Amino acid sequence: MQDLRNTKRNLILVLLLGVGLLVWQSLDRDKLVVYCAHDAVFAEAILRDFEKQTGIPVVVKFDTEATKSLGLAEQIIREAAHPRCDVFWNNELLGTLDLAERGLLDSHKGTGWQRIPAQFRDADGRWTGFAARLRVIITRSDAPPRDDTRIFSGDLTRFAMAKPLYGTTLTHYTVLWHDWGAARLQQWHADTRRRGLREVPGNAQSKDTVASGACDAAFTDTDDFFEAKDEGKPVTMRPAQLENGQTICIPNTVAIIRNAPHAENARKLADFLLSAKTELALALSKSRQIPLGPVEESQLPAEVRELLPHAARGYPLTGLLAARNECLAWLKREYLK
């Protein structure tokens, strides 16, 4: 008798869970689904403003700091036969290029695509860049001056960098792979690890090693530097440069997934993200992102205006998909043994 009661109770529980799932799916069915690798603290405000202005409800899936961009891109690949995502807001370009090459992105040449310069958009409209960051070396302002050449020689136990499997550090490595060649990068990678380079999960942790005084310098991005500066940490930064003086300028990208369930609303969000209003909002946010399309420069913070010339010297990224794939395959062998 007791077993019968338990069986009935379990059946009722399963039924209630099933009904709950159906209700949840029906509530979210008409929502625009965004996969977003940009930091939630900054992206949420932009997406909620879109909801407010258009009345289009949005549900967002964010990624973790340690697997930024790569995790979401791989999920889009897994879901290719039955897409759940409508819009991919990536925080870098190379993973988006991979999705375009696989035929997983739809074309859209709307008002946003038209205002972004040609070097930051796909000619076929499959993706468009906006609101960039720079790779930088963050240093303790109370530490002895550090010669950049020490990154290539000497002790590195007080220098940090995020593991290069993901996000903008993967872009950084891809640029070096393309500029230096595979053999030189692989040798440099082995040498820096041998000399004590501190590897951490992500750029935020890389910044934290310097902000806390555990390291004297680290590779990170401009948005992470500004976070430490706003917290009153004794930090300064300079753009990471190649030997010819070029910088590593990494845009956000927006792309519409092929066969997206809500394609019309996806196009509206893409144009919203690529608008001057959004680029200005991201420039004025604590992340201080660098506009790529035309904006009223007098409205930009002085710190962002100072970054514009450095961004203009950015290494071209649009032709680096092959280098990215080769570099990533090697890094997976190195780290995921």
Express each pLDDT in 129-142 by its tens digit: 999 999 999 999 98
pTM of the model: 0.86
Same CATH fold, 134-248+325-335 and 30-132+249-314? yes
- Beta-bridged to residue 162, according to DSSP, are 200
pLDDT confidence of residue 25: 44
Assign 18 a pLDDT band (cuts: 50, 70, 90). very low
pLDDT above 60 (res 23): no
CA nearest neighbour of 222 among 115, 121, 308 = 308
pLDDT in tens, 151-167: 656 889 999 999 999 88
pLDDT above 70 (res 216): yes
Sign of CA dihedral 28, 32, 33, 34: negative
pLDDT confidence of residue 3: 54
pLDDT confidence of residue 152: 59
pLDDT confidence of residue 64: 64
Residues 6+ apart with CB under 8 A from 267: 108, 110, 256
- CATH 3.40.190.10 is held by the domain 134-248+325-335: yes
Cα Dmax for the chain: 82
For residues 158 and 6, the model is more confident at: 158
Tell me the C-alpha distance between 248 and 222, whole Å.
11
Q: What is the mean pLDDT of the chain?
A: 90
Q: Where are the domains of the chain?
A: 30-132+249-314, 134-248+325-335
Which residue has 């030997």 as its token pair? 243
Q: How far from 223 is each of 137, 203, 303, CA to CA, in Å? A: 12, 10, 11
pLDDT above 90 (res 45): yes
The alpha-helical segments, DSSP class H, found in 111-202 are 111-115, 167-180, 182-194
Tell me the C-alpha distance between 59 and 281, whole Å.
21
Q: How far from 63 is each of 38, 108, 254, 288, CA to CA, in Å? A: 8, 25, 15, 21
Question: Do the beta carbons of residue 271 and residue 251 sit within 8 Å?
Answer: no
pLDDT confidence of residue 320: 97
Assign 272 a pLDDT band (cuts: 50, 70, 90). very high
CATH class of 30-132+249-314: alpha beta
pLDDT confidence of residue 20: 40
pLDDT above 80 (res 24): no
172 sits in the region (left: phi over 0; alpha: psi -120 to 50; else beta) called alpha
Q: 60-64, 120-124, 191-195, 331-335 — which is least confidently predicted? A: 60-64
Q: 1-10, 44-53, 210-219, 279-288 — which is least confidently predicted? A: 1-10
- DSSP class of residue 1? -
CA nearest neighbour of 304 among 168, 131, 91 = 131
Tell me the C-alpha distance between 155 and 157, whole Å.
6
pLDDT in tens, 65-94: 545 556 899 999 999 999 999 999 999 999
